[in-house]
Structure 1
Amino acid sequence: MFQAIVGFVMVIALVYCLITKKLLPPIAFVLFPVIAALICGFSITDIGTYAGKGISGMVSTVSLFVFSISFFSLMSDAGIFDIIVNRLTKAAGKNITAIMIATALIAVVGHLDGSGATTYIITTTAMLPIFKRMNLDKRALMLITSLAIGVMNLVPWGGPTMRAATVLEMTPSDLWTPLIPVQGLMLFFLLVVAFLQGRIATRNQAKISENAAASEAELTSAPETAKSPAWKLAVNYILTLAVLVVLVLDLLPAAFVFMLGLSIGLIVNIPDLKKQNQKLKEYGTAAMSMVVTLFSAGVFTGVLKNTGILDNMATAIVGLIPTALGPYTHFIVAFLAVPLIMCLGTDAFYYGLLPVVIGVCGNFGVSAEVVAHTLLIAENVGVTISPLTPAVFLGLGVLDLELGEHIKYSIRWIWPVSILSVLAAVLVGVIPL
């Protein structure tokens, strides 16, 4: 229990510092778990070992971020997004709501492979130029993409569903099939949120008439020109399309795909070796702050996971629920799933918390499958605002946002959708009362 208390205090303090911008994320991710582990009695040598494991686990994510950012920056410099952005913004006109809904649909399609990292990169990279051109809030782009990932994560090849199926010793497909109607309703909730974000953005822009007029003038006058010769532009489009197709089909490791794309793109667009080197330094400098944050997040995850603090936190949560409410333990945990996943991360949530909840509810005749369905629906929606989810930092890096900004803006939308999704599952009979 002592470790659990220390863990909760530490996570709450960390989230508070991120939201209020009291500390930079890399500093908070390193200092807070180290202090917590020391208080719990672990030696600095053990903490270093655990931190090293966490850092090692972030290498693939960092590689993906660096090479994807460099590749899309190169393609942007080459001008491949100019014509697309100009045509889309002209077609949309003042219909900002259409842009928000299009963002949701792109993210849904992008997440068919179950990879949050791929979805963030594809969606934010594709839509950011449009959001900039139309002077839209990047936090809305991050919210819609994150919510789409949460909704689509229910698929059998999604990480949470596979974890829950492992705990129940059943196939992910069998666990997911009864959830299909609920996932359809969750997709509807996603579109509602995107629609509301569009209405909010439209109202905000209407309040600033001069800026709106300037934006309209820009939309109608922006030339459809490219920065590269026609043949290079064609090659760049083919290269970008090939990269996206391979990513969506999951044919090769994502980081390797972007490495290949960047290598080919540099040869095509910048034949001079000195200029290639200058560009790589430029892209590397832009990505460095997020690289530091990602490795620091690895320290945070590695220390909390390997010290057992996360598992103790998961066990303590159920112990706080009164015995009289035992039959409704899965609902109580589900309604608190968003803040809980922010504290625990997916591994501790499913391998630590889920078995305990199944055990408690089983004493009252609630099946393990019902418990898993309830927590899957609730948790998936909130996983994309957790500091323990590495893919989140890829989206933040592309959009140049801080985690605290994302949490502060998105939780007021994501948490209600999580609860509403559980209630919808009850109404359609997927989760019996």
Structure 2
Amino acid sequence: MLAFVAAATILGLLAAILSQRVSPLVALILAPVIACVALGMAGHMPAYMVAGITKIAPVAGMFVFAILFFGLLGDAGVLKPLVSGVLRAVGKDPKRITIGTALLALLIHLDGSGAVCFLITIPALRPLYDELGMDRRVLACTASMAAGVNFLPWTGPTLRAASALKLPVGAIFNPMIGVQLVGLGFVFAASWWLGLREQRRLGLIATRQQSAVQAEPLPRLFWLNVALALVAVGVMVSGKVEPVVVFMIGTALVLLLNFPSPTAQRERIEAHAGAALQMVGVLMAAGVFTGIMNESGMIKSLASTAAGHMPQAWGPHLPVLVAMVAMPLSLLFDPDSFYFGVLPVLAEVAHHFGLPPVQVAQAALLGQMTTGFPVSPLTPATFLVAGLSGVELGAHQRFAIPFLFAASLVMTIAALAFGVFAL
């Protein structure tokens, strides 16, 4: 019963968001509440909701102050010269811009944090996309592909897989290096194609056109603001200080430097409050959803049921099958439930058919909360991508899921070709 209700709740949530019948905030709150009541757990529901909100609170706080921080830097005129500089470097060629987006996201994601990757990449490049009239969904999708394919030994899915199956991280990751390179090749090819499509849509000429872009005069305190932004990003990427702390302090300093009067500070905060409040509401609603689904045991039950009902005939082909469905499974299972609940069961099944458990772990990394995490309603990063890009959640998912799923399938084919696992 738990598993059935869990599956129905998640599928209902996805249908509601993707069809845009209701707002994500409404769907994320009411879907699990209805499920909880249907299961007779209404008395426990407030505690479940609070538990989920508590876990999401740091991300929500980070998002509020990230919006304020980058918004205030824009108000101070810091971004215009930077955008002009990028335009002089790449011209008005969307193909170069989308490839540059993928490259920047890939480099930023080397620290293993999807949230940090999106918090830096998207606000930095969104003004450039807006300057040229490019589709913001392309920005969200390109950054998502680069971060999703860039699974590393120190990223969450790899560490979870190694811990759950008691395997060395190197045993899982090292044979996958060639597969990942193929995946990255797909990311840059897809980014180039998306840029080409945007170029044709906008009717832009693919030339550098350096003379057409005038240099922006540097605003007052430009270099001081740039230094502050670089320090904030550097500290955040280092992982020594929580991002919410970095953005809170950074926001206060930007306000103090550029808008010294209390009236000006209040006006600037109010100017960005709408966007911040809207996305924080969605993030809190996501906390309610994951809190109820996890604390009630629905996700755990769904994981056990899914693994236990797998036909035995699939056993010899298990790694390939897992790899093919790993990305869509990110829409159903949060990372802990899958890697600590489903994966050990799948590994036992694989062992029964003479397959090494490491192959199941490698197959899972080809999509489960790697290419799947930027579109899953079970991860805060999805809401960060949509919110920072200024794109509706459902629109982001509809646009990006085919590309992310394609990246997963391309890597699956590469894994077969390289002998990581056999068909």
TM-score class, shorter:
over 0.9
Partner of 2:365: 376
Partner of 2:175: 178
Shifted more, 327-336 versus 406-415: the winner is 327-336
Is residue 183 of structure 2 the alignment partner of residue 193 of structure 1?
no
Return the match for 1:224 from 213, 216, 230: 216
Return the match for 1:161 from 151, 158, 161: 158
* RMSD value, Cα: 1.9
**Contact 2:320 2:421 (8 Å CA) reproduced:** no
Instruction: Compute the displacement of 1:221 (Å).
Output: 5.6
Instruction: Tell me which amino acid in the other structure corresponds to 1:390.
Output: P
5 Å-filtered alignment, 1:67-106, equals 67-106=65-104
Q: Deviations over 1:160-200 (max 9, x none)?
A: 11111110123434432222222222111111111111111
Partner of 1:400: 390
Partner of 1:288: 277
**Contact 1:103 1:141 (8 Å CA) reproduced:** yes
- SS of the aligned residue for 1:268 comes to helix
Provide closer, same or farther for how the CA distance between residues 236 and 321 of structure 1 changes in structure 2, counting only shifts above 3 A. same
**1:315 and 1:38 mapped to 2: Cα distance?**
22
Partner of 1:114: 112
Partner of 2:313: 324
Instruction: Tell me which amino acid in the other structure corresponds to 2:292.
Output: V
Q: Deviations over 1:224-279 (max 9, x none)?
A: 134x32xx111001111111111222221111111121111111101112221222
**1:126 and 1:29 mapped to 2: Cα distance?**
29
Instruction: Compute the displacement of 1:285 (Å).
Output: 2.8
**1:221 and 1:414 mapped to 2: Cα distance?**
34
5 Å-filtered alignment, 1:248-263, equals 248-263=237-252
Return the match for 1:205 from 202, 207, 225: 202
**Contact 2:84 2:213 (8 Å CA) reproduced:** no
Instruction: Tell me which amino acid in the other structure corresponds to 2:191.
Output: A
Partner of 1:312: 301
Partner of 2:405: 415
Partner of 1:64: 62
**Contact 2:319 2:421 (8 Å CA) reproduced:** no
5 Å-filtered alignment, 1:236-255, equals 236-255=225-244
- Which runs of no fewer than 5 residues in structure 2 stay unpaired? none
Provide closer, same or farther for how the CA distance between residues 221 and 157 of structure 1 changes in structure 2, counting only shifts above 3 A. closer
Provide closer, same or farther for how the CA distance between residues 218 and 394 of structure 1 changes in structure 2, counting only shifts above 3 A. farther
Partner of 1:301: 290
Instruction: Tell me which amino acid in the other structure corresponds to 1:375.
Output: A
Instruction: Compute the displacement of 1:127 (Å).
Output: 0.8
Shifted more, 124-133 versus 267-276: the winner is 267-276
Instruction: Tell me which amino acid in the other structure corresponds to 1:365.
Output: G
Instruction: Compute the displacement of 1:222 (Å).
Output: 5.0
Identity %: 33
- SS of the aligned residue for 1:377 comes to coil
- SS of the aligned residue for 2:331 comes to helix
TM-score normalised by length of structure 2: 0.95
**Contact 2:374 2:385 (8 Å CA) reproduced:** no
**Contact 2:373 2:381 (8 Å CA) reproduced:** no
Q: Deviations over 1:350-389 (max 9, x none)?
A: 1111111111111101111111011112321112110001
**Contact 1:26 1:293 (8 Å CA) reproduced:** yes
Instruction: Compute the displacement of 1:322 (Å).
Output: 2.1
- SS of the aligned residue for 2:365 comes to helix
**Contact 1:310 1:344 (8 Å CA) reproduced:** yes
**2:140 and 2:211 mapped to 1: Cα distance?**
23
Provide closer, same or farther for how the CA distance between residues 62 and 90 of structure 1 changes in structure 2, counting only shifts above 3 A. same
Provide closer, same or farther for how the CA distance between residues 76 and 218 of structure 1 changes in structure 2, counting only shifts above 3 A. farther
**1:199 and 1:320 mapped to 2: Cα distance?**
45
**Contact 2:157 2:335 (8 Å CA) reproduced:** yes
Instruction: Compute the displacement of 1:282 (Å).
Output: 2.6
Q: Deviations over 1:52-100 (max 9, x none)?
A: 1000001110111011110101110111111121122233234210000
- SS of the aligned residue for 2:330 comes to helix
Provide closer, same or farther for how the CA distance between residues 269 and 329 of structure 1 changes in structure 2, counting only shifts above 3 A. same
**1:355 and 1:200 mapped to 2: Cα distance?**
43
5 Å-filtered alignment, 1:259-274, equals 259-274=248-263
Instruction: Compute the displacement of 1:151 (Å).
Output: 1.3
**Contact 2:322 2:360 (8 Å CA) reproduced:** no
Partner of 2:338: 349
Instruction: Tell me which amino acid in the other structure corresponds to 1:267.
Output: L
Instruction: Compute the displacement of 1:6 (Å).
Output: 1.6
Instruction: Tell me which amino acid in the other structure corresponds to 1:280.
Output: I
**Contact 1:378 1:422 (8 Å CA) reproduced:** no
Partner of 2:36: 37
**Contact 1:314 1:349 (8 Å CA) reproduced:** yes
Instruction: Tell me which amino acid in the other structure corresponds to 2:52.
Output: G
Provide closer, same or farther for how the CA distance between residues 146 and 221 of structure 1 changes in structure 2, counting only shifts above 3 A. closer
- SS of the aligned residue for 2:367 comes to helix
- SS of the aligned residue for 2:373 comes to helix
Is residue 53 of structure 2 the alignment partner of residue 55 of structure 1?
yes
**1:384 and 1:119 mapped to 2: Cα distance?**
11
- SS of the aligned residue for 2:383 comes to helix
Instruction: Compute the displacement of 1:300 (Å).
Output: 0.4
Q: Deviations over 1:20-44 (max 9, x none)?
A: 11111111001101111222232x2
Instruction: Tell me which amino acid in the other structure corresponds to 1:36.
Output: A
